[in-house]
Amino acid sequence: MTFARYATPFILLSAFAFAPAQAADNIALDQTMTVAGIETACTGVGLEARQDAKWRAYPMLIEFVGRDGQYLGDGTVTVSGNGHDLSVHCQGPWVLMKLPAGDYKIGVDVAEGGHKDLNAKAPASGQTRLTVRYPNAGGAETPNERVAAAQPQQPQQPQP
């Protein structure tokens, strides 16, 4: 028996061991997309988008929040349960899904914040708002920037 005979299956199996279990579908901002049979949306950038009434029709709203309540983007959400398994990537701070009522396991990966696993229930009516907090992520003003911004600026006198 040759080395190549045993090495080839090992190499092929090793390649699959490092591949991601499921690739996330990228969703454009303020657009809907059907992923694995579930209508999904990526939004939440700007007040107008957050106040749009059409988003209330989605039973599950997942939002990414960082330090001082700042919205975060660039997140991947993986949902499994109730016969569904899907993964989406969103550049905005909100992912909305029209999931059937039931219990779900949700994994969230935000570029600045890392990974979190959560459980959530999609209601038969209404909306569940799942806020995923990353207290160490996002840019916040330093105390010096706030103090400098609060102090009135004196007009500069021309130099003689």
Domain boundaries, the chain: 29-137
**130 with 106: CB under 8 angstroms?**
yes
29-137 CATH choice from 1.10.287.990, 2.60.40.10, 2.40.50.100, 3.40.1160.10: 2.60.40.10
Give the per-residue pLDDT at 39. Answer: 96
Secondary structure letter of residue 19 according to DSSP = S
Give the per-residue pLDDT at 143. Answer: 53
Spatial separation of the C-alpha atoms in residues 25 and 43, rounded to whole Å:
15
Give the per-residue pLDDT at 151. Answer: 41
Secondary structure letter of residue 39 according to DSSP = E
**103 with 82: CB under 8 angstroms?**
yes
In this structure, which amino acid lies at residue 72?
L
Give the per-residue pLDDT at 138. Answer: 83
Give the per-residue pLDDT at 147. Answer: 39
Spatial separation of the C-alpha atoms in residues 68 and 112, rounded to whole Å:
14
Per-position pLDDT tens, the chain of length 160: 454 444 434 333 333 333 334 567 788 888 899 999 999 999 999 888 889 999 999 999 999 999 888 999 999 999 999 999 999 999 999 999 999 999 999 999 998 899 999 999 999 999 999 999 999 988 655 554 443 334 444 444 555 5
**62 with 94: CB under 8 angstroms?**
yes
**41 with 95: CB under 8 angstroms?**
yes
